[in-house]
Structure 1
């Protein structure tokens, strides 16, 4: 697994977060570097948090599945104390230490990572899915369950049919898509992370949907796993 360090995460000032985002933003690559048909393995990434003795803790789950059979190939996780405070727009700085630690444990090298969170659909185009790609060195996709309203722009609800979507335009630029993965179910909010284009992100996401959830399979599995892990550590971590 290609994981490398770019900067430390002991920053507490908002201007430091912002400077890092601006420095990395110019390196975002939204070209089609990978073809959806060439995908063999996909990873889902999610985190969960809790407090213990007044201190914040988190757990990150990464679950890798076979893109064809949808069977789980590998799952890893990391757990630890959270050292970076929550600041709106800078969630990646809070989550990346655990994501990187979990990714280092992977024996499989996923072709693409899907995150429970935003990517390019972000105030500075630097949601966790985009930011994490600089460490993972792989294409990433953002899958958000709720809409992040940017500059007062709302999204247009897609038609109520599987695969329907509307592009999210902000100041004339496409930030992502409101995507209906299942009928009669709320849309998800899809955006590129990095090293991938929006159409490929859409195709990959839709190929990973089943009848159990509006979320792509690896993201849903990672979400479920974080809840199990959080309960375990809440009971057993001293």
Structure 2
């Protein structure tokens, strides 16, 4: 059972801060983050059919899982933040927001570029997701405060980072051509503000080709806030159905492109 929600609006990303101030805020966020399970979401309930859940009145409603992704209207220097909320494999809500981009991309400071637009989109939700998946890092971050951790702490919601490449840390084993379903721990190294050997997250192989001539790279999944690393990895595996990306993230990406096309027409 998770503890009552305690948002931290004082830690909202501020693009006007100096770099040193941003990094100091990230360290404060990492200190406030909970990198262990503190939620009511049961892995195994994320993609069950709604019919099966509703057939048993004693069974709780399947959790609401939000995928969050971004697209950009570069000519007008704006960000388009898209959110898709799913319940047991069905889309129940889609929202997006378009806001100005205030700073360029700086590795390790993504939340200060994209966090404001994401918060603007999340304000438009009528549902209250039980779990948020972000296209980006969580604890796998130089200061243990990627965008999933930053927004997770600000809103005090269970969150997970789903990254396509490894920002920092060291895989505990080979991550090339892994069989589907394999997870490999990512340990902290000298580039991370954490004791060496701390498990930051996992390389997660959600899908793999049945061919020796080509391979799918793993995702790098890490806890954002109120989720443990093992649960984050297991949830990513469960939510990745036909494609590499977990379905809420994949559909948020597609929705961001759809909304962007509409705006540009």
* TM-score relative to the length of structure 1: 0.88
2:261 equivalent to 1:231: yes
Closer, same or farther in 2 for the Cα pair 1:125/1:111, shift >3 Å?
same
Query: C-alpha deviations, 1:58-90, integer Å up to 9, x for none?
Result: 100000001x2x010001010021113322210
Question: 1:28 matched to which residue of 2?
Answer: 33
Query: C-alpha deviations, 1:138-162, integer Å up to 9, x for none?
Result: 1000001122135xx4663166322
Question: 1:162 matched to which residue of 2?
Answer: 180
Supply the distance in 2 between the matched residues of 1:42 and 1:118 (Cα, whole angstroms): 17
Question: 1:78 matched to which residue of 2?
Answer: 97
Question: 2:19 matched to which residue of 1?
Answer: 14
1:221, distance to aligned residue in structure 2 (A): 0.3
Closer, same or farther in 2 for the Cα pair 1:224/1:2, shift >3 Å?
farther
Match of 1:5 among 9, 31, 34: 9
Show the 5 A alignment for 1:41-120.
41-52=64-75, 55-66=76-87, 68=88, 70-120=89-139
Could you say which structure has the larger radius of gyration? 2
Question: 2:252 matched to which residue of 1?
Answer: 222
The 3-state SS of whatever aligns with 2:20 is helix
Question: 1:133 matched to which residue of 2?
Answer: 152
Supply the distance in 1 between the matched residues of 2:13 and 2:136 (Cα, whole angstroms): 22
Question: 1:191 matched to which residue of 2?
Answer: 222
Closer, same or farther in 2 for the Cα pair 1:57/1:3, shift >3 Å?
farther
Give structure 2 stretches of 5+ with no counterpart. 46-61, 189-195, 210-215
Query: C-alpha deviations, 1:85-130, integer Å up to 9, x for none?
Result: 3222101011111111111111110000001111000010111000
Question: How many equivalent pairs are there?
Answer: 228
Supply the distance in 2 between the matched residues of 1:181 and 1:128 (Cα, whole angstroms): 22
1:3, distance to aligned residue in structure 2 (A): 6.7
Native 8 Å contact 2:9 2:155 kept in 1: no
Query: C-alpha deviations, 1:159-216, integer Å up to 9, x for none?
Result: 63221011011221111111110122221111001111011112221221111x1110
1:136, distance to aligned residue in structure 2 (A): 2.4
Native 8 Å contact 1:191 1:201 kept in 2: yes
Native 8 Å contact 1:60 1:77 kept in 2: yes
Closer, same or farther in 2 for the Cα pair 1:165/1:10, shift >3 Å?
closer
* TM-score relative to the length of structure 2: 0.80
